[in-house]
Amino acid sequence: YKGGIRYHPHVELDEIKALAALMTMKCSLAQLPMGGAKGGVQTDPRYLSNDELMRLTRRFTSALGANIGPDYDIPAPDVGTNAQIMAWIADTYMMSLSHPGNRQHGQSVVTGKPPEFGGSAGRDKATGQGLVYVLEQTLPELGLSFHQLTFSLIGFGNVGSWTARLLAERGARLRAVMDRSGALYHDHAIDPTALANHAQTTGNIAGFPHAQPIPVDQFYSIPVDLFIPAALEQMVNLDKARAINCKALVEAANAPTTPAAERYLLEKGVTVLPAILCNAGGVTVSYFEWKQNRQAETWDADVVDDQLRKHMHAAAQRVRLAAHRYRCDLRTAAYCAALEKIDRVYRLRGIFP
């Protein structure tokens, strides 16, 4: 099984179950040989010291025990967790939970680790990179191209900042961005690299000198080609959807759009690109990292990118074909494509005993 571990004050069991189900669909759609999983701790890591964060992580890993393992359930970073936390999980597992004769394989108990400790090249940008590869396949059908494409972002953490930087490299322009500290706007373009450096120093986007602070309500109504939610679930509700002015909503976060908001956007003619397709790059490169660890290999960054492009292009093609076959929206098509594979496997295996 594969899925992230999140540290957030609003983590709850039903949320984790739902996210694990979405991961099952995502792994199936990306044709990864794993089921879906998720985990979390109800805490706010912003208010913990580094030592407190380490002790919490090691205690949580110890409590999980045999519920995780390199041959069973392999966690990864999610909201509120990072490469350092994955390193602590791997070290705790290797030193106290793995079988002594198999300790060298304990490193592959998690992915998203630092490169020095078995992490993969390209893992930090993987979700954003995968989204860009999906857009390579879907923009032509929308009558759009990367050059001079405009977009706005909710969330400027790992996924949002990498998405912005990778799109900017292809000529797209970030016009507006919002995080928990407020919203920013520039009539031409916000430099995402400069903003990422600012956010890394200060912890958020507030106070960035090269963009104009704007009210949150104004942020949603700024006209752009792509509106990209890259923060938490259910952030785009019906009221927000009524204000959004875009050609396509691209879900970089997990389930960021409520059903009512999506129905409104589809009726308005807005294309919604679903999360189980758009953000599958993270779990795909996590799978690559797991393979590298198990095979004692280190792939170059261009090999990782090339393999990721193949997986994301193929997944996007499966969704497009399902949308044409069933004459449905892209989210329904993505679920159809994912469930068809799961269905085939259950039919092949049967039920025993």
Catalytic amino acids? Answer: 38
d(C-alpha 347, C-alpha 340), whole Å:
11
d(C-alpha 107, C-alpha 127), whole Å:
22
Q: How many CB atoms lie within 10 A of CB 259?
A: 11
Q: Which amino acid is at 301?
A: A
Q: How many CB atoms lie within 10 A of CB 195?
A: 23
d(C-alpha 290, C-alpha 197), whole Å:
30
Name the strand (E) or helix (H) holding 187. Answer: strand 182-190
d(C-alpha 236, C-alpha 251), whole Å:
10
| DSSP letter assigned to residue 4 | E
d(C-alpha 216, C-alpha 213), whole Å:
9
d(C-alpha 341, C-alpha 331), whole Å:
16
Q: Is 268 helix (H, G, I), strand (E, B) or coil?
A: coil
d(C-alpha 119, C-alpha 112), whole Å:
6
d(C-alpha 179, C-alpha 142), whole Å:
28
d(C-alpha 152, C-alpha 231), whole Å:
13
